[in-house]
Structure 1
């Protein structure tokens, strides 16, 4: 297992590489070129720039999150072939610098959303919050406005400005796209890019839907165990894998997270670990990693990864905003550093137990 930390780049993150390097056991950063418009090729010189920055602090750059998928690919439009070709070129450039995993998602319009990015908790910290009742009354435009106002000076991952400018048009385009159509379009994409990823030594790891159920009537195809199995079986390639995200899949308590790990461990090159606390009305908030603070079996998940020989990359996922830190929503330094140590502690306990 290699511990990593998501980093948004110099000038785009309140957290420095020097700070990340000081977290015990930290091996690498999970990164992306966030200023490159979705669908365009990532230039090799820009990629090498990030690699050089991270390597200067003895941190590797073997995991990218994310090379986002253009909406035309998800919609299955004729223009998708050019965007897929661009994706292949980006994979080739990433392979040249030793990238091993590319995390991506196939969520229409909204990659993820919450109704409150800074919901106050009982201890005075704040966290990302999903209000189930409020979602039913919100329009997509209201969601975008809410997130833009809460995000302060930070861009939000997976929310490209060009998409948000023409939101209504995107919704119209998805009117006739159901889960079956979306899955076909994903398979088309994977059949095209997996051979290139294989040749570059890269594993593609699809991220679960966040949350793992439909929002505003949009289709979702990475919601549960059955969806994951369908995707993995559709394209038989060692490059076709998943990102196990406890927080995304765990937003639906019907998902057995331990069983999902045990079933697909051989196809999980990358894992996100975070806890969420559920409420009776279907709302949830992102708590600390501590099992007692949330509703998910975090230590059982880590045990399942260990017992099934997980040797990939892992990162502490969304953290609370604590100790008056001003940071990107969900991506502060302090609580994620605590999360990394919690994951390490649980992992070490199973390692030591196995040596007895």
Structure 2
């Protein structure tokens, strides 16, 4: 397991590269050009600036999250081929600086959603929270207002250019069913995966977050069956999944450890985090510790150890603790704590595997 840490860039992140370097076992950053609109080809000079910063800090930049997919591709408009061509060119450029994995998603309009970014927990920390009944009756514009309460920081996964045209986007997606969205994903993958494979890059689709429909929009990466179908679209090691235990774990029916074992050869990137799911469907992003949430993090990490996982992994959303002022879910303290917990689980699993192999 190769530990990495998501970083939003100089001037756009409260966490520094120097701090990331000091977290035991972290070897690289997970990055993106957040100021480049979806669909545009990434400028080489901006890519090279990240390469310079990563080399200067002693951290690699082998994982990009995300190269966002333009809505015209998801909707299936005639203009999609232009944006797919730009995507291919970006893949080629990223390969030249050593990128090995590109995480992306295929969620319509909202790349992720929560109803409260700072829900207070029993211990006084705060965390990202989803009130399921509330979002079922919420106006999408109200969600945007609640999410965009920190204009100085771009939100993870959200494309700023989308926020001012929600009505237009909802109209564009009105006839897009799950079947049509799935067909459009297949079309996209048939175009880009061969380019990725030629350039030594693995594409890794991120599950829907949350793993169910919101605002009537289609969702096609919700569970084991969805992932199996997507991996069958293009039978290539470059067509993979970012297995996110938190996103998938918001549905208690999803067995994350079983997915690790089934998709073991197609998981270039793992997001490891816990969520506490309540009986009414609400969930909050707890600490990474197994006992604090609903996901069996111990079993998940054991499964990765069993399959001999050599891909990239990162702690995902953390709580806001010790009065840290940070991007919601992306502070330093709790994610660093999460890494140390994950390493503990990993070391224990690896030791148990060695002991078993020695017949003790």
TM bin (shorter chain): over 0.9
- Structure 1 regions of 5+ residues with no counterpart? none
- Counterpart in the other structure of 1:231: 230
Deviation at 1:6, TM superposition (A): 0.2
Residue pair 2:237, 2:265 contacting (<8 A) in 1 also: no
Equivalent residues in 2 for 1:1-356 (5 A)?
A: 1-149=1-149, 151=150, 153-356=152-355
Three-state SS of the structure 2 residue aligned to 1:166 is helix
Deviation readout 1:277-310 (Å, 9 max, x if unpaired): 1111110000000111111100100010110121
Task: Tell me, in whole angstroms, the C-alpha distance in 1 between the residues paired with 2:278 and 2:250.
Answer: 11
Task: Tell me, in whole angstroms, the C-alpha distance in 2 between the residues paired with 1:26 and 1:158.
Answer: 22
Q: Cα RMSD (Å) of the superposition?
A: 0.8
Moved over 6 A (4+): none
- Counterpart in the other structure of 2:358: none
Task: Tell me, in whole angstroms, the C-alpha distance in 2 between the residues paired with 1:51 and 1:342.
Answer: 29
Three-state SS of the structure 1 residue aligned to 2:263 is helix
Deviation at 1:152, TM superposition (A): 5.1
Deviation at 1:355, TM superposition (A): 2.2
Three-state SS of the structure 2 residue aligned to 1:41 is coil
Deviation at 1:72, TM superposition (A): 0.4
Three-state SS of the structure 2 residue aligned to 1:28 is strand
Deviation readout 1:54-94 (Å, 9 max, x if unpaired): 11121000000000000000000001000000000000000
Please report the TM-score for the alignment, with normalisation by the length of structure 1.
0.99
Task: Tell me, in whole angstroms, the C-alpha distance in 2 between the residues paired with 1:171 and 1:122.
Answer: 38
Task: Tell me, in whole angstroms, the C-alpha distance in 1 between the residues paired with 2:152 and 2:162.
Answer: 18
Deviation at 1:234, TM superposition (A): 1.3
Alignment length, in residue pairs? Answer: 355
Task: Tell me, in whole angstroms, the C-alpha distance in 1 between the residues paired with 2:349 and 2:251.
Answer: 27
Deviation readout 1:159-196 (Å, 9 max, x if unpaired): 11211111011101111110000000000000000111
Three-state SS of the structure 1 residue aligned to 2:57 is coil
